[in-house]
């Protein structure tokens, strides 16, 4: 027969075990959250130019010392992108356009025009979302969706991914890897998104970090910038290209810039994904149903 004292001890036992288990579970939960936050946030430190330049030159966009890669973000924009295409054509320059999937979906003809005129299309994401909340599953889905749309538009799988705001979180890095894209940011920018930007200020800002092998960031749309700020970037183009040429630097797209060097496996993977995208596009166009 169990005594009252033993019964009281027995009754109290599970409470003690539950409390200890709760504390352990709490510590595990805190560690898991801390791990997730670290995985999400730590890679975002590459946004800092000094960190990027010192530790990750390929992510900084540094390529062949005799070239400068010219890149544009946030398009395609039917109201402004054609003006940039016209200016680039007059300058005999080709560039890389990092496009947003939702904007390319609304302006597919403009996307095809960019590619047809010899420019390179790359992935800027599906939307221009802020990076603060971890969304790894959505990141994978939307980067892949944007890459497939770019492939259907340009006829080949894109090589590059630049995240919105230039913040490369753990989820965005994983999404780029899953889609077979190489993340690349920039080594010089024009601060052309601000309300007080002018052609002169953009040129001066780019010139501060302009070196052989640099990747320059500008915007061909003000969709995510101060209204009308695109005029500063457009006005800066002739002088910027002239400055590069005066220094003996060729201006062109990221393709051929030698950023990090593409491995044989990466090239083969890009070709395979291009063929897969073409096959899916052909299947989508194929009539369905009976006679």
| CA separation for the pair 161, 168 (Å, rounded) | 10
First-last CA distance in the chain = 84
Task: State the maximum Cα–Cα separation within the chain, in Å, rounded to a whole number.
Answer: 100
User: Is there a catalytic annotation at residue 73?
Assistant: yes
CB atoms within 10 A of CB 227: 8
The upper half-sphere exposure of residue 91, i.e. CA atoms within 13 Å in the direction of its Cβ, equals 25
Phi (first) and psi of residue 142, to 5 degrees: -75, -35
3-state secondary structure of 219: strand
Task: Return the residue matching tokens 């990747």.
Answer: 215
Given 40, 119, 124, 219, the catalytic residue: 219
The catalytically annotated residue of 40, 60, 73, 77 is 73
Catalytic site residue 116? Answer: no
**DSSP codes joined into one string, 119-172:** PEEEE--SS---SSS--HHHHHHHHHHHHHHHHHHHSS---EE--GGG---HHH
Catalytic residue positions, numbered = 73, 219
């Amino acid at each position: 027969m169990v005594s009252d004292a033993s019964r009281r001890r027995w009754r109290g036992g599970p409470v003690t075990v539950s409390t200890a288990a709760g504390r352990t579970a709490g510590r595990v939960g805190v560690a898991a959250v801390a791990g997730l936050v670290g995985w999400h946030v730590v890679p975002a430190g590459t946004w800092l130019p000094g960190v990027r330049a010192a530790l990750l030159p390929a992510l900084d966009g540094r390529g062949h010392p005799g070239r400068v890669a010219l890149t544009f973000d946030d398009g395609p924009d039917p109201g402004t992108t054609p003006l940039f295409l016209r200016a680039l054509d007059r300058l005999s320059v080709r560039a890389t356009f990092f496009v947003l999937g939702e904007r390319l979906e609304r302006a597919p003809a403009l996307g095809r025009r960019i590619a047809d005129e010899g420019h390179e299309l790359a992935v800027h994401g599906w939307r221009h979302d802020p990076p603060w909340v971890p969304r790894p599953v959505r990141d994978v889905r939307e980067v892949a969706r944007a890459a497939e749309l770019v492939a259907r538009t340009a006829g080949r799988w894109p090589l590059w991914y630049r995240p919105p705001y230039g913040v490369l979180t753990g989820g965005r890095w994983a999404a780029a890897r899953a889609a077979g894209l190489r993340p690349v940011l920039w080594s010089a920018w024009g601060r052309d998104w601000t309300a007080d930007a002018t052609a002169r200020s953009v040129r001066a800002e780019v010139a501060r970090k302009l070196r052989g092998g640099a990747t320059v960031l500008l915007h061909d749309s003000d969709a995510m910038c101060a209204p009308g700020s695109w005029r500063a970037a457009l006005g800066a183009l002739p002088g910027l290209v002239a400055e590069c040429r005066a220094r003996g630097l060729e201006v062109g797209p990221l393709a051929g810039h030698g950023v990090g060097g593409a491995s044989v496996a990466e090239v083969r993977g890009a070709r395979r994904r291009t063929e897969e995208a073409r096959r899916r596009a052909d299947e989508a166009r194929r009539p369905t149903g009976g006679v």
